[in-house]
Structure 1
């Protein structure tokens, strides 16, 4: 009997987003005088569960993608949430991880050229979402940085804050996101490239604008390249790159937290599980 109940529960869960005719025969009671009323009651109960689980899906995605929701509107977002959940059922009891595949899903779901930036906007929002849950870490004090000799830093490798993520897009996704936070004007030109770094200097993720050279340098530091190697990557793109100002911005935003430890011990955190 326990195995039969378990099998029925599994079928019921799978049928919550399928045609009810697949589950109804398994739930039918023995023949009764009012079979039609009994079937209607089962339909109502299944629809109750279906509506509940879809509401949870939608709420989880809306929490991770508020700007995308504002851009596309309620109706579109509801349809997107259902289509996404059907293609990518939740694999975790933690719905904070549910939307991880949405940016890639949008690339195939949305074909309207006017919506060409939706997928990259979603990538930006997902990076902000998981940055919020990233592990905390100690940050080297400003005084400690000032005490280091520049020549000692050139061959050093550095630790990057776990919340940091680089975002690159041919569209003005950072400006679109910012417009929704401050009621600023929507960017006049969508086809304007974005290089951005997600940071979390305190407990609130933010977007730090980057140039192409800064993007290349930080990507090198994330790969545990030395500062010399990171500078080479930046100056290859722009010989006039102002590294001093950029380094100061990274330190102030806690993007660089200190010197890299000799032995890296992986940390279990939501950000890593969801990437």
Structure 2
């Protein structure tokens, strides 16, 4: 008697591969093998997953066309069935798949465009939080600013690419401003955030992604500045901090004890 895990494994294998017959453990009326009914079910699963990817990656779809996208997505679906019952979580590694998909190899930017679209998806479905009022930092003594630790908005994502993915995204989502994108202009870092109801995409200044990564790890402002300026000598701390507050990317803060003080947190805000 096969175990439940074995039955499920055979079912999933048959669901993935259209060339496989229905699992022997499945029986239809009069105990016959329901090949036709299973085939319809398998086809419906594949079609629904392909359409889910089309909804999540509309810019990739527009760039390659529907026929190419459907063909590419069918290969992906055959290898990657959902890991959760929530379809908005499906396709998290689609960009990695595109990167290895030989027919798309000439479109070097396509995978990073997909990464930007997935970041948009994550930001759109993230939890809500109230952005920090910029005036809230006004009472922090100047000599304690480097000890600030920030809480970042749960919707915030950063996508880095050697390609101008934000310009590609803009051109393919704005019907009123369609213009060719010069791929030779290079890439950069894109901030993806939903401070209120709409997801916003902004170009980060040089060093901004490193700065955000350090803050996201719970680092102090002073340490984040040191990491950012090591990555980009022209990093502007004031401009980057004001930009993050203006974008709604910071939702709270606290003051950590100065290094070596040996105590817990002494202040909070936000």
CA distances 1:131-188 after superposition (whole Å, capped 9, x unpaired): 1111222332233233434432211111111111221111111111111222331311
Q: Is the 8 A contact 1:220 1:229 kept in 2?
A: yes
After TM superposition, give the deviation of residue 63 of structure 1 in Å. 2.0
Q: Give 2:212's match in structure 1, choosing from 206, 210, 218.
A: 218
Q: Give 1:176's match in structure 2, choosing from 164, 168, 181.
A: 168
CA distances 1:191-241 after superposition (whole Å, capped 9, x unpaired): 612211211111322212112322221221112221111222233344443
Q: Using the alignment, how far apart are the partners of 2:164 and 2:226 within structure 1?
A: 27
Question: Does 1:22 find its partner at 2:32?
Answer: no
Identify the range of structure 1 (22-31 vs 43-52) with the bigger mean alpha-carbon deviation.
22-31
CA 1:175–1:7 in 2, change beyond 3 Å: closer, same or farther?
Answer: same
CA 1:123–1:58 in 2, change beyond 3 Å: closer, same or farther?
Answer: same
Q: CA RMSD in A?
A: 3.1
Question: What TM-score do the two structures reach when normalised by structure 2?
Answer: 0.80
The answer for the alignment partner of 1:110 in structure 2 is: 102
The answer for the alignment partner of 1:252 in structure 2 is: 246
CA distances 1:79-122 after superposition (whole Å, capped 9, x unpaired): 12111111111111111111011111112113554311111111
Q: Is the 8 A contact 1:132 1:205 kept in 2?
A: yes
The unaligned stretches of length 5 or more in structure 1 are 32-37, 264-275
After TM superposition, give the deviation of residue 21 of structure 1 in Å. 5.8
The answer for the alignment partner of 2:181 in structure 1 is: 187
Q: Using the alignment, how far apart are the partners of 2:189 and 2:75 within structure 1?
A: 30
Q: Give 2:156's match in structure 1, choosing from 161, 164, 173.
A: 164
Question: Does 1:131 find its partner at 2:106?
Answer: no
The unaligned stretches of length 5 or more in structure 2 are 257-263, 265-270
The answer for the alignment partner of 2:60 in structure 1 is: 68
The answer for the alignment partner of 1:95 in structure 2 is: 87
Q: Using the alignment, how far apart are the partners of 1:29 and 1:261 within structure 2?
A: 69
Question: What TM-score do the two structures reach when normalised by structure 1?
Answer: 0.79
Q: Is the 8 A contact 1:131 1:199 kept in 2?
A: yes
CA 1:29–1:115 in 2, change beyond 3 Å: closer, same or farther?
Answer: same
CA 1:11–1:219 in 2, change beyond 3 Å: closer, same or farther?
Answer: closer
Q: Using the alignment, how far apart are the partners of 2:142 and 2:61 within structure 1?
A: 46
Q: How many residues align?
A: 254
